[in-house]
Amino acid sequence: MLNIYNKKVNDPGGYRQFKYGKSLITLYNCPLKSKLQEIWSQHNYIIYVMEGRKIWHTAHGSYELNKDSCVFVRKGASIIEQFFDATFCLVMFFLPDDFICDVLKTKTIPLYKSGERYEPVMPIYTDTPVKAFFQSMLLLFESGREPDPSLIEVKFRELVLTLAGNSRNSELLSFFCSLLHEPQAVSLQKLMENNYRFNLKLEELAELSNRSLSTFKRDFKKQFKSTPGKWLIEKRLNHAMNLLTNTDKTVSEVAFECGFESLSHFSRVFHDRFGITPRCQKKWLLAC
C-alpha cells in the first residue's frame, strides 16, 4: 500500500512543495496515476481541488472530489479512483494531530462543537477567508521563490485557525474536539474500525495510533482481548462473507476490498474459517 505522505515528501522533483520541519508539508501538483490505488497517510491532510475529478473510497463510504472541492481527510487508508478525462490538480496540506492540537490550544475563543459524528473525509465550507487563503498559497507557488520556512508554519497555523473559527465546519470541529478530549481507548477503536478493510501492516497501524509497535500490541490486547492479527482476520473475513452474500462483487474484488494480501491467502483463510472457498460460496449463492 502506498504511503502518500512519504511518496510526496521524497519526490521533490515531482511535486512543487514547501515545508517546515519534518511534518508540515504543502504541495501543488497535477498528478495522474492508475485507475485504482490504495493509499494511506500517517498524517491528516487537506485537499483543495483546482481541476479534475477523483473519488476517495473509505470504510464509511465514497466521496467525490471535483473542481473547487475542499475536504479534510483523516489519517488512515483509502482507495483512490482516478478519472482520466481531465488532469487532476490540487493543493494539499499535511496536518499532524499534535500540530492541530498545539494550534487549537492557542485559540482565545472556545472551540465550537455541534456534535459527535465525523467521517474519514469531511467537507470544508469554502467561504471567503478559505478561498483567500488558498489563493494566497497559489500565489506563493506561482512566484517561483522559496518562502522562509517560518512563513510556512504561520500559513499552517492560519489554516487551522481559519477552519476552527467557522461553525459551518461542524464535522471537522467535532473531530478537532476529539483530538483534544477523546480517550485513547475510543480513539484506538475508531482507528481500527476505519482501517481494518485495508492492507495495512501492524507497524503502520501502530504509527497511525501514535504508538510504538510493542505499545500498540499491548494496548490492543488489553482493549480488544485479542491480538491485532487475529482481530483483523476475523473482521475482514466477516466483511468478506457479507460482500459475497449481499453484493454482486467478484471474489477478486472482495479480496481487494477486504485488505487481503492476495487471492490465494484470502481463499485459504476463508476456507479455514467457514469450511468453504469464496468461489464455492459465490457459486452456491448464485445457484439458489
Instruction: Say whether pLDDT at 105 is over 90.
Output: yes
Mean predicted confidence (pLDDT) in 256-271: 90
Query: Range with the lowest mean pLDDT among 129-133, 135-139, 184-188, 211-215?
Result: 184-188
What's the CATH number where 94 sits?
2.60.120.280
pLDDT of residue 14: 67
**Span 30-67, pLDDT tens digits:** 655 567 788 999 999 999 988 888 888 888 889 999 88
Of 132, 154, 181, the residue at which a domain comes to its end is: 181
Mean model confidence pLDDT for the chain: 87
How many structural domains does the chain have? Answer: 2
**Span 143-178, pLDDT tens digits:** 888 889 899 999 999 999 999 988 899 899 999 999
pLDDT of residue 25: 78
Query: Range with the lowest mean pLDDT among 13-17, 88-92, 199-203?
Result: 13-17
Contact 26, 155 (CB under 8 A): yes
- Cα 255 to Cα 264: distance, rounded to the nearest angstrom: 9
Instruction: Say whether pLDDT at 69 is over 80.
Output: yes
Q: What is the 3-state secondary structure (H, E, C) of 91-123?
A: EEEEECHHHHHHHHCCCCCCCCCCCCCCCCEEE
57 and 152 fall within a common domain: yes
User: Predicted confidence band at 71 (pLDDT cuts at 50, 70, 90)?
Assistant: very high
Residues in the chain: 288
Write out the three cell numbers for 196: 481494518
pLDDT of residue 110: 80
Instruction: Say whether pLDDT at 263 is over 70.
Output: yes
What's the CATH number where 221 sits?
1.10.10.60
Domain ranges, residue 285: 183-288
Write out the three cell numbers for 92: 494539499
Sheet holding 121-123, edge to edge: 16-20, 24-29, 89-95, 44-51, 70-73, 121-123
Mean predicted confidence (pLDDT) in 220-241: 94
Contact 94, 49 (CB under 8 A): no
pLDDT of residue 286: 59
pTM confidence score: 0.86
- Cα 60 to Cα 45: distance, rounded to the nearest angstrom: 18
158 and 261 fall within a common domain: no
Of 141, 158, 181, the residue at which a domain comes to its end is: 181
β-pair type (121-123, 70-73): antiparallel
167 and 208 fall within a common domain: no
